[in-house]
Structure 1
Amino acid sequence: MKEAVQLTEGWNLVHDGSPLPAQVPGCVHVDLLAAGLIPDPCVGLNESEVAWVGRRPWTYMRELAPGETAADRHERTDLVFDGLDTAAVITLDGYELGRTRNMHRRHRFDVTGRHGPLHVAFTSAYEEAAAVRALTGERPNAYPEPFQYIRRMACGFGWDWGPTLVTAGIWRPVRLEHWSTARLAAVRPLVTVRDGLGRVEVRVDVERTGRGADHRLEVRAAVGGAQTRAAVDGTGAVLTLDVPDPLLWWPRGYGEQPLYDLEVTLVDQGAETAETPAEDRPLDSWTRRIGFRDVTLDRSPDEHGTAFTFVVNGLPVFARGVNWIPDDVFPSRVTPERYRTRLRQAADAGVDLVRIWGGGIYEDDAFYDLCDELGLMVWQDFLFACAAYPEEQPLRGEVEAEARDNVVRLMPHPSLVLWNGNNENLWGFRDWDWEPGLRGDSWGGGYYLDLLPRVVAELDPTRPYTAGSPWSGSWGHHPNDPAHGTHHSWEVWNRRDYAEYRDSVPRFVAEFGWQAPPALATLRRALPGERLAPDSPGMLHHQKAEDGNGKLNRGVARHFTPPEDDFDRWHYLTQVVQARAVAAGIEHWRSHWPVCAGTVVWQLNDCWPVSSWSAVDGDGRPKPLYHELRRVYADRLLTLQPGPDGDTGGPVLAVINQSAEPWHTAVRLRRMRADGTVLVEEVLDLTVPARRVSRRTVPGDLVPDAPSAKEFLVADADADADVGADSDEGEGTGGGTEEGLRALYFPVADKDFAYPAPRYDVVVRTPVGPAGPADAGDGAGDGGSDGGGSVEVVVTAHTLVRDLLLRADRLGPDAVCDFGLRTLLPGETIRLRVRNAVDTGANAVRSAFSSVEPA
């Protein structure tokens, strides 16, 4: 049977002629940091101080002992690298095993009987990119670094949210594989479901040794109680397993996620020339979890344009998505536990689709395993982003090998629902002045429209492929036409107010977002000793977007009076605007289902502490946006939208039911004054069918008087008990009391509205102990602490309190609150749970609150 030995120990990194202990998997920066030779590049301005690391060659070395590769153990020993970053020469005892130039694929070398010093010598990625550019000629891109000339993580060269940290190293596992006669070179399960029958067609590729060429080989497969076997014909076999009435895998919120173990075994039945068969001898095995589900992409034309709707097991789905970037500047540091934390955050926020963006990496198997378990659909970009990519050699061969490797590796996962050719390159070719400058040179179109769809059709025909994001489906429409296919909405963030998200109804919004700084505790860790200000040196260095602070400030100024020399207030308002902006887009687009069939927020996560579009910052702390996603991505949502002619047209009440059951609810509409007086009230009795939206214009007598700047509209609805535990209604800017859902409509900007000075009581209830709960009111001192446990914070409003936020990290760096922004009417009470707080005195807790204040 094949044996595998992991080579994680005994590596050194050569630095200035001397060996340093090296971590494998790892990278150069991690090793230099561990040795104290460089400062943490994610802290302060240190990124600039370590730029030299990416400009130098680096060598990893390890001794391979004779016993590790001895031929007497097996016929063959292979040295297998799951990931090398990036351009390397591998030698063993001075013999060149091979050369690599692609971070995104696996490499295998025959080292049978060889031993001695093993060297992996990396050329600087800059040097490799320059050599390729000299062969192919110049190509345009969106950033100044040469990432389009080398097959490595593009964002490592810097992005509008990420640092420039170009590293090198053995970034994924390396091992020795010992085998005899034959091995399983590739296993491709094609899983389909038709009329209640689950079918797995297993296509197997086999590699033989020289002595194994005349052996009779058999492949056996089993799944869900079904078993079959087939003889290997040369170097391949095809097996078919039928599973009657399999349990279907569903996205979260639509059903369960049953997984089946698919087991494949390669068996040696002896030499073809033998008169009697030898006893079966297992040679190799392969096991993966699969799921039975059918996924298609509805791209049919209709009266609105061209659809882009995921259909899972025959059910059209509104995709509640987030974009995913590498979770660390050094991906080798991301553990399965970290994947679980981040993806659990996504699932808890109501997300059901994660798009792996094309400027990063094909993630580790652990990522996709967790998505299978959590019911998170995966949209997988091929790794091309924001640049014209040469199609000549040596890149073309690498691109095809990379695509084949990763399609085969990832296709067993039921969570994988889409292959996407690139990020924004079709759009860039048409709109970003690339086409004239290229003068007919290759730019990647051949990859997206020819090579990649052919690879997917050959290897994984059970899944849809789209040429890019955004992409209208053909050159007959603009690549980013909102009426056709996928759309990226960036004009709003770049130049407009977030209210303008409501100006169109794209068929599928694959990218949109709004920036905000990270949590204060994250900034304090990343910028130690700095007096924080929006334009302080560290804040500016950790803001990578073009005119990022200018856009943040303009976004605030459209709605609030900008604070002067008050960082804490600026920090709060920028986070409020981020949450409101994303909510405005999602509420509007969800209210137009099924014309709009999905939103994918840019972005879930960060790779370092930075001001960005993320919902979870670089230290893993949720921003208010994260809690707002929990509200607007819940199965049931209440929203008030401005009318089709703007505010003067009257608001529209949209009641959105994405659950599997009809929603019968009473919606209480109140036209109110800022002082809490109810002017007009009406109750609507509504039933919204499953997976449907009800829209109706608000009656005229309930529409607030905009010129008065003192009136607003409130809609409240019952949450219903059958929504499910994952829905978490009532949270965010619209969330009111714990008993139901709330939507708010203010006809004027906050800076023009006659807000009262917010007044509210805060009571801190320490954990229940033998003597029962202990309360600390507003007059209590600041000495109370639960030693890092949980406390309940009860807030009672005496006035209208808009967007109240408990910023838990003020109470301790690890403290978290279970709610984000909340708006309270006079007399309302909410209860918040705070975990891991260090300081739980009432004064400290009260000082951690912020809310909208009168202009």
Structure 2
Amino acid sequence: MTVIELTGKWTVTASSGPVPAGIAGRPIPARVPGAVHLDLQRAGLIADPFDGANETEQQWIGDVDWTFTTVFEWADDGTERQELVAEGLDTVAVIALNGVEVGRAENQHRSHRFDISAALVTGENTLRIDFAAPVPAAEARSQEHGPRPHVNHHPYNAIRKMASSFGWDWGIDVAGAGIWRPIRVETWSDARIAAVRPLVDVNRENGTVGIVDVHIDVERADRLREPELDVEVEIAGQRIPTRVPMGSTSVVVHVEVPDPELWWPRSHGAQPLYPLAVRLQGREQWRRRIGFRTVRVDTAPDEQGTPYAVYVNDRLVHIRGANWIPDHAFPSEVDADRCARRIADATEANINLLRVWGGGIYESEDFYTICDEQGVLVQQDLLLACAAYAEEAWLHREVEAEAREAITRLSSHPSLVIWNGGNENIVAYADWGWRHRLEGRTWGEAYFRRLLPGLLAELDPTRFFSPGSPYSFSAYLSPNLGQHGTTHIWDVWNEKDYTAYAEWTPRFVAEFGFQGPPAWTTLTDVVHDAPLDPHGPQMLVHQKAERGNEKLERGLGPHLPRPRTIDDWHWATQLNQAAAVRFGIEHFRSLAPYNTGTIVWQLNDDWPVISWAAVDFAERRKPLWYAIRAVYEPRLVTVQPREEGLAAVLLNDHDDAWAGELALRRMSFDGFVLSSAVIACEVGARSESTVQIPPALRTPADPSGEVLVAEAADFGRAVHDFAEVVEQRLERQPFEAVSSAQDGAVRVTVSARSYVRDLFVLADRGHPDASVDTGLVTLLPGERCDFTVTGVPPQIDPGVFLDPLVLRHAGDLQG
């Protein structure tokens, strides 16, 4: 096989549409893989799409037809087949080589292979790809086939393009065009491997045996000449030869590996990966790594409703998850290093599952490979989100093609354990009033009930399939009931205060969250309102949720004093976001074993924006990230209300049982212990224990000036506030702090004189490149904490990190 990578000189030209003067018809240098917005920016023809109000000014880009062109050399090498392989075309495209149309595409989420033998010439070849303007294309298809309900303002459900590229309640509207994944010319003879699906199982009947059935599909160069083909599979020191029979295009090779090391989710065991190679006619053409493990999800009704319990290797895994969106509004910009940093954000926050959300993309091989290596489970949505989708042939064929390809491509990854039919489509039909609006038009039920489960049964029955999220696992129940299956909780944030999480008793929470702004530097790098204001015009461009900043301010009301300055607004809304999610996760986890997991919305951002993310677009960890890390600790003690009064719940997500003492103190803010107790308790492996707190400890004499402290060795400490910040008598200066340069970092040491609630170093306000190792620290009188700030140039005065706008705590919001 000969491969010509088409990554050389490309140009992009605006061919029709509302193009500004000076751009129409002008060839602009282009990068492939890439996106037209980025090409225009590099050429100096548009400003940064993420900056200021540029999103609005650049909406014309999505209304324009764009043509990408390149020239490449080819010499006849005597091969039988010549093909153009495009891994990702965004989106509606006509492909021509030397003026001859060789193919068409209309789906960003699949690859294409076009026969170019009739158009290819020896010497110079001109490849041209004409992309239709995506916004008019989506609108035209919607009108042609009947409008169907969707969220946001463009009918993204009428075109197979990344839904969030048209904008979302956290996403910028940058619907454009481009060759967003690699493109190349391949020439070959005889036969090639078209696809490999290694389906893994583990048999424990007579010892442990790893089983892999390697499904191999081949394509022959000459369909009239179909001889036998030699195939060899190599794994774990075994080489298994077989043959593809004459006239056939597939074969299955069954391999058994005695006593394999099992692949486990993180904190449950190791992640051994076995190289698997497939050779055709003696040439290696496919290589991946697989892991031996089993997966099942228990949704069998019980006396309490319907569970959603994930088992790996027959062991229950309590899910501490996060939702994942595309990590950049232009996904071609996410390289392996950025992907690795984002997954490190997950693992360092004790996250053990990422749900790839259905309005984004099927992620890169880098993403799943890193999850394999790190033991991060993956739930993969099929790419249907928050909309009704036509089931007729014009869309059905594309949904089927992309799903077939994705299921096949991702089958080797042990981290991928769940396929999900889509996001909020079923609940929208059932509960959002869409059934009436559809007036009998199809809406996607055939995908969730027949096509997608049928494809999984055909291509990969080893993984669990859920028709949607949320879902009650019954056609006769509302899809979003807490006691059944998976639940999305959005009355909190949209309508209610975060304490309303306690009104829910969910079996599994697949979405919930609360908004907060990004880091100060991330925000002010793109928002230039003067003066800076929560309701300034550029600020609101970077707030995509409906009445989002009003909801942020409403959410502060019961908890924090009204901000006096924009600096206080920023800190208070970040702090309240962290408090909200911390409250929710602790409540949900305390319901174990009834509750088996949470997937917080969301880990990451795709541009600099006020959002639900824990890590902002500039890769700065928000206070929320530190809160998630703390409440996702495998061992956690939390104080929760129960019918008998306050109780301490000890959660032990370890293989070892624990026995020890729970120390309880009710104390005043100045450190005086008002009541105390030590209670012996035990917690089983992967289990939990609830300890009732004696009345003298759970009943404060002065709620505004007292806290309850619960501590247990290995479980850390829970500090229960009897009142909200707005009602507490917190000191504005309850500590002394010093800073110094040490070992290439800055050490900030804080010593508490009085109770310090949620102490945090807003490191980027000291220096834009700085980050801090810990955050949201609560100190009791007499305690101290060391913060390590890294990324600080040596010439920076360590004292900047003691500035009151850098070193903050909940009490400094009080007047």
TM-score bin, normalised by smaller chain: over 0.9
- Do residues 143 (structure 1) and 152 (structure 2) align? yes
How far is 1:265 from its partner?
Answer: 0.8
> Whole-Å Cα distance in 2 between the matches of residues 111 and 94 of structure 1?
12
Other structure's SS at 1:205 match: strand
Other structure's SS at 1:462 match: coil
Partner of 1:100: 105
Partner of 1:358: 358
Partner of 1:650: 645
Residue deviations 1:35-75 (CA, integer Å, cap 9, x gap): 010110101111111110110000001123342xx2x3311
Partner of 1:224: 236
How far is 1:683 from its partner?
Answer: 1.3
**Range 607-616 or range 207-216, more displaced:** 207-216
> Whole-Å Cα distance in 2 between the matches of residues 161 and 170 of structure 1?
24
Partner of 2:210: 198
Partner of 2:254: 240
**Range 107-116 or range 617-626, more displaced:** 107-116
C-alpha spacing 1:211/1:389, structure 2 compared with 1 (3 Å) = closer
- Confirm or deny: 8 A CA contact 2:703 2:723 kept in the other structure: no
Partner of 1:429: 429
Residue number among 696, 714, 719 corresponding to 2:691 in the alignment: 696
- Confirm or deny: 8 A CA contact 1:706 1:748 kept in the other structure: no
Partner of 1:178: 187
Partner of 1:821: 776
- Do residues 628 (structure 1) and 627 (structure 2) align? yes
- Do residues 812 (structure 1) and 767 (structure 2) align? yes
Other structure's SS at 1:175 match: strand
**Range 182-191 or range 3-12, more displaced:** 3-12
> Whole-Å Cα distance in 2 between the matches of residues 214 and 57 of structure 1?
43
C-alpha spacing 1:167/1:842, structure 2 compared with 1 (3 Å) = same
> Whole-Å Cα distance in 1 between the matches of residues 658 and 498 of structure 2?
30
Partner of 1:491: 491
- Confirm or deny: 8 A CA contact 2:529 2:536 kept in the other structure: no
- Confirm or deny: 8 A CA contact 2:528 2:538 kept in the other structure: no
Residue number among 219, 227, 238 corresponding to 1:215 in the alignment: 227
**Range 209-218 or range 793-802, more displaced:** 209-218
- Do residues 125 (structure 1) and 134 (structure 2) align? yes
Which stretches in structure 2 are left out of the alignment for 5+ residues?
Answer: 15-23
Other structure's SS at 1:65 match: strand
Residue deviations 1:103-130 (CA, integer Å, cap 9, x gap): 0000001122613321100001123213
Partner of 1:158: 167
> Whole-Å Cα distance in 1 between the matches of residues 722 and 737 of structure 2?
30
Q: Which amino acid aligns with 2:599?
A: V
How far is 1:695 from its partner?
Answer: 0.8
> Whole-Å Cα distance in 2 between the matches of residues 708 and 667 of structure 1?
22
Residue deviations 1:319-341 (CA, integer Å, cap 9, x gap): 11000000111001110110001
How far is 1:284 from its partner?
Answer: 5.5
- What is the 5 A alignment of 1:499-514? 499-514=499-514
- What is the 5 A alignment of 1:333-732? 333-528=333-528, 530-564=530-564, 566-644=565-643, 649-705=644-700, 708-719=703-714
Count of residues paired in the alignment = 792
C-alpha spacing 1:592/1:60, structure 2 compared with 1 (3 Å) = same
Other structure's SS at 1:193 match: strand
- Do residues 764 (structure 1) and 739 (structure 2) align? yes
Partner of 1:783: none
- Do residues 747 (structure 1) and 759 (structure 2) align? no
Residue deviations 1:441-469 (CA, integer Å, cap 9, x gap): 10011111110000011001100100000
Give me the TM-score of the superposition, normalised by structure 1.
0.91
- Confirm or deny: 8 A CA contact 1:13 1:58 kept in the other structure: yes
How far is 1:707 from its partner?
Answer: 6.2
Other structure's SS at 1:338 match: helix
How far is 1:687 from its partner?
Answer: 2.2
How far is 1:759 from its partner?
Answer: 2.0
**Range 462-471 or range 651-660, more displaced:** 651-660
Residue deviations 1:792-814 (CA, integer Å, cap 9, x gap): 11110001111111111111101
- Confirm or deny: 8 A CA contact 1:185 1:206 kept in the other structure: yes
How far is 1:409 from its partner?
Answer: 0.6
> Whole-Å Cα distance in 2 between the matches of residues 792 and 664 of structure 1?
36
How far is 1:846 from its partner?
Answer: 4.0
How far is 1:831 from its partner?
Answer: 0.9
C-alpha spacing 1:218/1:494, structure 2 compared with 1 (3 Å) = same
How far is 1:348 from its partner?
Answer: 0.7
Give me the TM-score of the superposition, normalised by structure 2.
0.95
> Whole-Å Cα distance in 2 between the matches of residues 613 and 501 of structure 1?
16
- Do residues 315 (structure 1) and 320 (structure 2) align? no
Structure 1 runs of 4+ aligned residues shifted over 6 Å read none
> Whole-Å Cα distance in 2 between the matches of residues 215 and 284 of structure 1?
19
Other structure's SS at 2:69 match: strand
> Whole-Å Cα distance in 2 between the matches of residues 840 and 512 of structure 1?
41
- Confirm or deny: 8 A CA contact 1:791 1:840 kept in the other structure: no
Which stretches in structure 1 are left out of the alignment for 5+ residues?
Answer: 268-281, 720-739, 769-788
Residue deviations 1:672-706 (CA, integer Å, cap 9, x gap): 12332110011122221111111122111111326
**Range 568-577 or range 332-341, more displaced:** 568-577
> Whole-Å Cα distance in 2 between the matches of residues 382 and 463 of structure 1?
14
- What is the 5 A alignment of 1:270-281? none
Q: Calculate percent identity across the aligned residue pairs.
A: 46
How far is 1:599 from its partner?
Answer: 0.4
> Whole-Å Cα distance in 1 between the matches of residues 617 and 130 of structure 2?
32
Partner of 1:736: none
> Whole-Å Cα distance in 1 between the matches of residues 809 and 424 of structure 2?
38
> Whole-Å Cα distance in 2 between the matches of residues 482 and 381 of structure 1?
21
**Range 77-86 or range 208-217, more displaced:** 208-217
How far is 1:168 from its partner?
Answer: 0.4
Residue deviations 1:374-409 (CA, integer Å, cap 9, x gap): 111010000011111111131110010010011101
- What is the 5 A alignment of 1:277-296? 282=282, 285-296=285-296
Partner of 2:264: 250
Q: Which amino acid aligns with 2:218?
A: V
How far is 1:193 from its partner?
Answer: 0.8
Residue deviations 1:542-599 (CA, integer Å, cap 9, x gap): 00001111111111111122123x0111111111111111111111111121211110
Q: Which amino acid aligns with 1:423?
A: N
> Whole-Å Cα distance in 1 between the matches of residues 800 and 233 of structure 2?
65
Residue deviations 1:723-779 (CA, integer Å, cap 9, x gap): xxxxxxxxxxxxxxxxx71112222222122323432111213215xxxxxxxxxxx
- Do residues 65 (structure 1) and 73 (structure 2) align? yes
Residue deviations 1:198-235 (CA, integer Å, cap 9, x gap): 01101111111127723220211011122212211211
Partner of 2:18: none
C-alpha spacing 1:148/1:821, structure 2 compared with 1 (3 Å) = same
